[in-house]
Amino acid sequence: MAEIPSAVEAPVQFEWQKKDTDMTAKPEVKGFYDPRTFSIQYVVSDPATGKCAIIDPVLDYDEKAGTTDTHSADAILAHIAEKELTVEWILDTHPHADHLSAAQYLKGRTGAPTAIGQHVIEVQELWKEIYNWPDFPADGAQWDRLFSAGDTFYVGELSGRVLFSPGHTLASITYVIGDAAFIHDTLFMPDSGTARADFPGGSSRRLWASIQEILSLPEDTRLFTGHDYQPGGRAPMWESSVAEQQRDNPHVAGKDEAAFVALRDARDKTLPMPKLILHALQVNIRGGRLPEPETNGRRYIKIPLDALSGAAWE
């Protein structure tokens, strides 16, 4: 895989800066915190039209009992009904390793198209080998649209733009809708640092470049992260700004690429794998589809042994 040029070389011209983008519009953003996976799901809506997009929805899963449920997704639907919104998009920022995606369930309930970044195909190719799925179609056809860097879309009258934000995964993207950017596993809240970059296909150098592109957005851009681990036991938080991240995030404030890579790589060596990574990826590289029922009518999750050897143990 080709290396991304160092993001600290100046001047850097990012793709979003080359095109007209209305970043003054202010969408309404509602976050839904899932304490089981520390994930935040979002509904972002256009006040003028009542059109909305759902971002990174969670399908509830109890790995101890092997039970699935839809109460998190149903809470999103209840909010949409209460506000009389119309869903135009169901968007994932990347194939998640810590929760199952509810994209297919929500598509069935709303009829809205699903979307993710086009590099999901590379993630599918990687994980089909891990799961020994030689016949799995790693073509991204499991989603209705695959976004490329610089692609635009609309939520009502609000223009959205896609940034390619790899590092945490090969396929991670950021959605910039008006003055709001949905950055998921890149930057966390300023008191929590940045996302790990040691998953298969991850890269701390690529993550640094992605973070620099996000931090080149206007300083008052609202940044909505995908996880909050509540350091010190504080209440969950998920909104910051470019200026706050530049000033207060210890992983990036005053750091250059080399310092960030050293910090990130050292920290990642101490982290165990997410408890649901092997459960979740086989669902999420299929666009949120659960495994097909077998002859007894039951669905089965497949867990490859020793596929991720070398990670820290809890």
DSSP secondary structure letters along 255-267: --HHHHHHHHHHH
Nearest to 39 by CA among 57, 25, 54: 57
Beta strand 158-164 with 173-177 is antiparallel
Nearest to 222 by CA among 7, 22, 15, 26: 26
In a domain? residue 230? yes
The two three-digit tokens of residue 160, written as one number: 């959205």
Q: pTM for this one?
A: 0.91
In a domain? residue 239? yes
In a domain? residue 115? yes
Number of domains in the chain: 1
Looking at residue 21, its pLDDT comes to 56
For the purposes of burial, counting CB atoms within 10 Å of the CB of 278, is it exposed (0-12), middle (13-18) or buried (19 or more)? buried
Residue 258 pLDDT grade (very low, low, confident, very high; cuts 50, 70, 90): very high
In a domain? residue 21? no
CATH of the domain at 236: 3.60.15.10
In a domain? residue 297? no
Residue 60 sits at the vertex; the CA angle it makes with 59 and 62, to the nearest 5 degrees, is: 140
Q: For 36-63, write each residue's pLDDT tens digit.
A: 999 999 999 999 999 999 999 999 999 9
Residue 22 has pLDDT above 80, yes or no: no
Full domain range(s) for residue 235: 27-284
In a domain? residue 310? no
The torsion angle over the Cα atoms of residues 188, 75, 52 and 58, rounded to 10 degrees, is: 50
